[in-house]
Amino acid sequence: MRISITRGILPALLLASAVARAQPPDVRVRLLTLYRLTEATVTPGSSASTVTIEGKSAALAASLAIKAGGNSVVTAEGPAAEVTFAGDFEITSAGVRPEHVHGRAAISAQDGLLRIVARFPVEEYVAMALQGETAGNMPPQALKAMAVAIRSYTAHFRDRHKTEGFDFCDTTHCQFLRTEVTPPVRFAVQQTSGELLWDRGTPLAAYYHKACGGQTESAATVWPDQKSPALPAHDDPYCVRSAQTWRSEITRADLNRALSNAGLRVPAQWSQIVITQRTPSGRARTLHLIAGSSEVPLSASSLRFAVGRTFGWSRLKSDWYEIAQQGDLIVFTGKGVGHGVGMCQTGAEEMAREGKSYREILGFYYAGAALGRSAQGMNWITRQTPSFDLRVVNSDDMAVAQEAAGAALEWAEQRSGMAIAVHPVIQVYPTVAMFRDSTGEPGWVAASTRGNRIRLQPPGVLAGRLSGVLRHELLHLIVEGNARTGTPLWFREGLVVLLAGDEEPVPRMRMSGREIDRVIEGRRSQDEMQQAYGAALALVRDLERTHGRAQVIAWLRGGLPAEVGEVVPSGIFRQAQ
């Protein structure tokens, strides 16, 4: 796989085929979101952990008490803007459940309250959400289906709390978490690692709920901005076999209090609440509060959320109900639990018990969504030329990409003095999100190449860098196609940067070829990768100055002499002069 960096001068990174697919960035989760914490204690777990205060790190050898002091956190060391922890540790506070964290967490304060934001790898977050949402009490195939749904939901809604400095909270507003994960849950996540549901090239908003009552709801009915052909309303015979009706009684005074707490307008002396409109699936959509000759409309979802936030979510379990009044008592009789959109967990359990696989479960509840580890469901437009194939989704990208690719290939062959040995397929993604979802690359990557397939961010995003990125990618294909088997990675990479001839990255340190390979193959940070490529260029440029470019090209094809292969002794770093 080759990737191109968008920021800085160096845009061409080549990774050996054995290197794993890039992992998405960690998920930032606000822990203990519902609690107004003024103090907490962090205790080391069974394995090593560290604490960092004001840039100074030390082993967390004993419990550390933390208090909020305005907009600072206060420890025995004094006030600090933030205290961070890494490793294995537990966060406790009076009256709240302990949080056992395997990872990293930062504790800060705002207006006298503590704020805890932890970072977890995506697969660990999926496991904790699966534990929280199911308690692990589902058949294995149903757990696998839920793991894929949770992972897809996570990818789709990644920016939900972006403006607040984290990705998700740990409540049902996002996905409920339990940090202690049981073996069945861990196994389900591992067995489906990286798999997502795709809706026209974008991760599906894979909603799920406890029980649909025999009929799922369409996403467009509940959330008009989430309309998707993969989230329709349809009959669910599997849930029918297990679904149970429910009954809930709420006094008029309690209903008034819940509505008032939610900031909803309530007529002073309303006498009746009636359902005036239902969704196509039969759920209540609109209610009216009747007070004499006046009526005040109220959405059913607003009522359910108001009651749930005040009295708990078991009081009004869904929007599918009938209403009866007995004096000051409002009686709701209904079926289903939750909003009804997407996967019904009760139905999924029944499908699994009947021998259905997780793929069949997903296919039933998200009909039309594609299952895979990279972007699926895009309608590609392909144009074949004698020199390369070009694939785009947006037809407007075709002309500009074709012109840039043709010129870049001609330039790369002339610059290198070598012919390209493969027929390139250049694939242009319509959005940065789709590029990232498909390749798994971080934001500073402009292009990614596997085999003969070059995958690009949108031309509009690359702007004036499109030609340069294509030149680098095509030079990689040329160099790889002409390289003798066993030619060192540092030599191939350095040669591409040399041939590209752009402004060169300057390494802070000279590195051995082996150290360069280790950094590139390990897919380190952007800065480390920049330095490694700068070091590779420095080694190859030294060879060119001593032996000439023609000889360097000859070594690419014929193999490096032993003395050249050890230009800098393995493992030795020396400061660049």
- Are 101 and 139 contained in the same domain? no
pLDDT digits (tens, 9 = 90+) for 323-371: 999 988 999 999 999 999 999 999 999 999 999 999 999 999 999 899 9
395 and 470 belong to one structural domain: yes
Per-residue model confidence (pLDDT) at position 433: 77
Task: Give the domain CATH number at 447.
Answer: 3.30.2010.30
Radius of gyration of the chain (CA): 29
Shared domain check, 139 and 222: yes
Same domain, 130 and 172: yes
The structure tokens listed for 520 are 């590139």
Measured CA to CA in angstroms, residue 147 lies from 193, 209, 497 at distances of 9, 13, 42
Contacts of 293 (CB under 8 A, 6+ apart): none
SS3 state of residue 180 = coil
**Which residue among 57, 85, 120 closes a domain?**
120
Check pLDDT > 50 for residue 569. no
Structure tokens at 429: 């993604």
Give the model's pLDDT for residue 523. 59
Q: Are 189 and 316 in contact (CB under 8 A)?
A: no
Are 6 and 73 members of one domain?
Answer: no
Shared-domain flag, residues 138 and 237? yes
Among residues 349, 372, 395, the one where a domain terminates is 372
Round to whole Å and give the CA distance between 279 and 272.
Answer: 21
For residue 42 the two structure tokens come to 């962090």
Q: What is the band of 506 on the pLDDT scale with cuts at 50, 70, 90?
A: low
CB crowding 75-97: b at 16 or more within 10 Å, else e: beeeebeebbbbbbbbbebeeee
- Burial of 499 (C-beta count, 10 Å sphere; 0-12/13-18/19+): buried
**Residue 18 pLDDT level (bands cut at 50, 70, 90):** very low
Residues 7 and 82 in one domain: no
What pLDDT score does 2 carry? 55
**pLDDT (tens digit per residue) in 250-297:** 999 999 999 999 998 888 789 899 999 999 999 999 999 999 888 899
Judge if 136 and 190 occupy the same domain. yes
Region 186-197 average pLDDT: 95
- List, for residues 222-261, the tens digit of each pLDDT value: 998 888 999 999 999 999 887 789 999 999 999 999 999 9
pLDDT at 266: 83
| Spatial distance between the Cα atoms of 518 and 513, rounded to a whole number of angstroms | 9
Of 451, 482, 513, which residue constitutes the final position of a domain? 482
pLDDT for the residue 442: 67
Q: Which residues contact 424 (CB under 8 A, 6 or more apart)?
A: 387, 388, 389, 405, 409, 452, 453, 454, 474, 477
- For 196, phi then psi, to 5°, come to -130, 160
* 222 and 348 inside one domain: yes
Same domain assignment for residues 82 and 98: yes
- CA–CA separation, 323 and 287 (whole Å): 10
Q: How confident is the model at residue 4 (pLDDT cuts 50, 70, 90)?
A: low
Say if residues 506 and 532 touch (Cβ distance below 8 Å).
no
* 99 bridge partner residues: 91
Task: Report the C-alpha gap between 42 and 34 in whole angstroms.
Answer: 19
Q: In terms of domains, do 552 and 455 share one?
A: no
**55-69 residue pLDDT tens:** 889 999 999 999 999
Residue range 96-137, pLDDT digits in tens: 989 999 889 999 999 999 999 999 999 999 999 999 999 999
The parent domain of residue 455 ranges over 2-21+378-482
> Does residue 575 surpass a pLDDT of 50?
no
User: What is the pLDDT, as a whole number, of residue 517?
Assistant: 81
Do 62 and 9 share a domain, yes or no? no
- The pTM (predicted TM-score) of the whole model is 0.70
Q: How confident is the model at residue 16 (pLDDT cuts 50, 70, 90)?
A: very low
Domain count, the chain: 5
Task: List C-alpha distances in Å: 143 to 213, 369, 518.
Answer: 20, 19, 38
Q: How many residues does this entry show for the chain?
A: 577
For residue 19, pLDDT beyond 70: no
CA 111 to chain centre: 30
User: What's the rounded mean pLDDT across residues 529-539?
Assistant: 86
DSSP β-bridge partners for residue 83: 53, 107
The 10s digit of each residue's pLDDT in 458-477 is: 998 887 889 999 999 999 99
Confidence of residue 505 (pLDDT cuts 50, 70, 90): low
Q: Categorise residue 132: left if φ over 0, alpha if ψ from -120 to 50, beta otherwise.
A: alpha
> Would you call 338 helix, strand, or coil by DSSP?
strand
**Average pLDDT, integer, range 72-96:** 93
In our burial notation (b when 16+ CB lie closer than 10 A, e otherwise), range 438-460 reads bbbbbebbbbbbeebebbbbbbe
Largest separation between any pair of C-alpha atoms in the chain: 98
| Secondary structure class of 446 (helix, strand, coil) | strand
How confident is the model over 379-416, as pLDDT tens digits?
889 999 999 999 998 888 999 999 999 999 999 999 99
What pLDDT was estimated at residue 445? 81
